[in-house]
Chain A
Amino acid sequence: MDFANFLIQLLNSLQYGLLLFMLAAGLTLIFGIMGVVNLAHGSFYMLGAYMAWFLAAQFDSLVLAILVGTVIAVALGWVLEWLLFRHFYHRDHLDQVLLTFGLIYIFEEVRSILWGDDVHAVQVPELVNWSIPLTENLSYPVYRLVISAVCVGLALGLYLLISKTRLGMKIRAGAFNREMTEALGINIRLIHGVVFALGVALAAIAGMIASPIASVYPGMGSSVLIMCFVVVVIGGIGSVRGALVAALLVGLVDTFGKVLVPQIAGMAVYMLMAGVLLYKPEGLFKQ
């Protein structure tokens, strides 16, 4: 493999890993802080993508679609938490699994009713619809770099939020000791709402920004959910740092695995997970 090809694959793995991180961060935060597992997390990714396609067509601008879509996602997350999820924080994981599985069905049907079951393509915004030439024959799409940049920006924002702001401090306190945090007069319900909405928004944004390069199709939620779970298992539940490391690792292994050993293609990541399970059954960065 020559350097240009290697660079392309490396950039691809980075971009894939970062997108996975957006999803895994939300999932792991929600579980780490509220103790709830959400199988419908992939559905938010799917809804984000379909929303981007629909709104981009309405506004004739993907950027505007993403901005509006983010607001909708935050609102959706907030309402879902208030209406449903907050009543399940103390329930069995089994109940949570089933509840969110039921939600998957509901979201699938809502999407079907609103936007149908067809596969769609979303246009890359004109401004970034060009490629950087690497060699005579190879070039790399700028939009993919934009995706990575946006993810990095959001990841940085998340880091700053959690470690440098007072809200972040309250979130961390709530994860550590809920009763004490409440006793200190901090509105834990508000915190939970914020965290949940944040998680949903991250997943939806991932779906929205990825929509031009990954086609928009009904099953996209499930396939990304699995990878998300793998990332969380490898990284360790509740650890955002673990999610980042694991997501990048998964991105690398999956991308290079498919290129170097196509026979085992999709299996490489699972073999990685199996390996991690043998030595660290609770993830690399267990809390």
Chain B
Amino acid sequence: MSSPKATLELLPKSMQVLLGTGALALAVFPFVPVEGSAFYLQMLSQMMILAIFAMSLDLLQGVTGMVSLGHAAYFGLAGYALAFLTPADTPISLWWALPASALGAGLAALIIGFFVVRTHGIYFIMVTMAFAQMVFFLFFDNKALGGSDGLYVNFRPDATLFGWTGIDLENKTTFYYFTLAVLVLVYAFLRRLLFSPFGRVLSGIRVNEHRMRAVGYGTFGYKLAAFTLAGSLAGVAGFLWAAQTGYVNPELMGFHMSAHAIMMVILGGMGNFAGAIVGAFAFEYVMHFFKDLTKHWQLLMGGFIVLVVVLAPRGLLGLGERLLGKKEH
């Protein structure tokens, strides 16, 4: 399923400036004396985690052209992994829990991917949604897995490394910077991936999968690898989310979560990962804004989504460039 929209691979100047400023602002924010800063710290941490989640989906959607309506399954599974791994009375070590959870999410993506990656277009959208719902109901219906109430993550992971206890994730500010570091790392990794041999193949698959096969690429294998990698990265985000909020429930794997992720990626502009970050922050901000405004926020949210699709299908940045009369890349 080719999507001609994701051609903003090389970041336009405006985007580079935006990213740079944003990174700087995030880095210095904890030092700014603002009222209710603890609340903002938590909110920004969550936005950063969602940005990682959105970037993982961008790999699948913006780069490879696979629109998954079930990406939240891997986000949620890793969160649950942390909940199960954390004992009742002591924290678990970050250094093996995080890779384990991410790999677990990746394994789930590999298994599900084996079935869904052989479908295309609208089928792919439907079956990714269906399998994610299957995972949702698996947890929702089973008391042993927490049921509809979910599970608590009793402690944030312990970042002790060879006896050094320098990083205390229970400290809000430390956790914030840890999340920021992961965000930057994942972004750098994905940008690198985009221009790697693997990344170029994925882009080619998005533009013309048929020709890719004709010149000798086993596109199924590449798509499955992308699906698995995207699932693992979603798992990284899910792990952080569970650590941040201290609580997981089946909604994390739900259809709304998956659809929100798609929205975030679209909003910022697909295919360059920077857009996913911008989109995540913008989407969360808008949702918080609407929720504060009225209890009928869903009406506003729905209207906002419809408006964006109708008016700005290339995301906010594409809209910005169009309004300014600039040529699109």
A-side residues, CB < 8 A to B, are 31, 37, 39, 84, 87, 91-95, 97-99, 101-110, 112-113, 222, 226, 229-230, 232-233, 237, 265-267, 270, 273-274, 277-278, 281-283
Contact = CB atoms under 8 A, between A and B. Distances in A.
B11 interface: no
Contact of B131 (A109, A270, A282): A270
Nearest to A92: B3
Interface residues of B, number: 43
A37 B125 contact: yes
B67 A106 contact: no
A118 to B, nearest CB: 15
Contacts of A267: 134, 137-138
A102 B134 contact: no
A104 B299 CA distance: 9
B282 interface: no
Most A-side CB within 10 Å, residue of B67, B304, B305: B305
27 contacts: A87-B310, A92-B3, A92-B5, A93-B1, A94-B3, A94-B67, A94-B262, A99-B305, A101-B305, A102-B305, A103-B306, A106-B298, A106-B303, A109-B298, A112-B298, A222-B255, A237-B123, A266-B141, A267-B138, A270-B134, A273-B130, A274-B115, A277-B115, A278-B115, A281-B118, A281-B120, A283-B123
Given A229-B130, A282-B123, A99 B298 contact: no
A98 B138 contact: no
Contacts of B122: 31, 37, 93, 237
Contacts of A98: 259, 262-263, 266, 305, 308-309
A186 B123 CA distance: 30
Contacts of A112: 296, 298
A99 to B, nearest CB: 5
Contacts of B245: none
A97 B125 contact: yes
A271 to B, nearest CB: 9
B253 interface: no
B299 A233 contact: no
B68 to A, nearest CB: 10
A270 B141 contact: no
A95 B262 CA distance: 10
A23 B149 CA distance: 30
Contacts of B248: none
Contacts of A237: 122-123
Contacts of B263: 98, 101
Nearest to A271: B134
A104 B259 CA distance: 11
B134 A113 contact: no
Nearest to A278: B115
A102 B115 contact: no
A236 B143 CA distance: 35
B313 interface: yes
B221 interface: no
A87 B141 CA distance: 40
Contacts of A106: 298-299, 302-303, 306
B233 interface: no
Contacts of A104: 302
Contacts of B298: 105-106, 108-109, 112
B228 interface: no
B255 A277 contact: no
Contacts of A37: 122, 125-126
B116 interface: yes
Contacts of A39: 259
B306 A102 contact: yes
Most B-side CB within 10 Å, residue of A39, A94, A277: A94
Given A97-B125, A98-B305, A106-B303, 8 more contacts: A93-B121, A94-B266, A101-B259, A101-B263, A102-B303, A105-B298, A232-B126, A282-B119
Interface in B102-124: 115-116, 118-123
A108 B302 CA distance: 9
B316 interface: no
Contacts of B86: none
A229 B126 contact: yes
Contacts of A226: 129-130, 133, 255
A102 B300 CA distance: 9
Contact of A102 (B119, B120, B123, B304): B304
A39 to B, nearest CB: 8
A283 B251 CA distance: 29
Interface in B215-255: 255
A270 B122 CA distance: 18
Interface string B35-71: 0000000000000000000000000010000010100
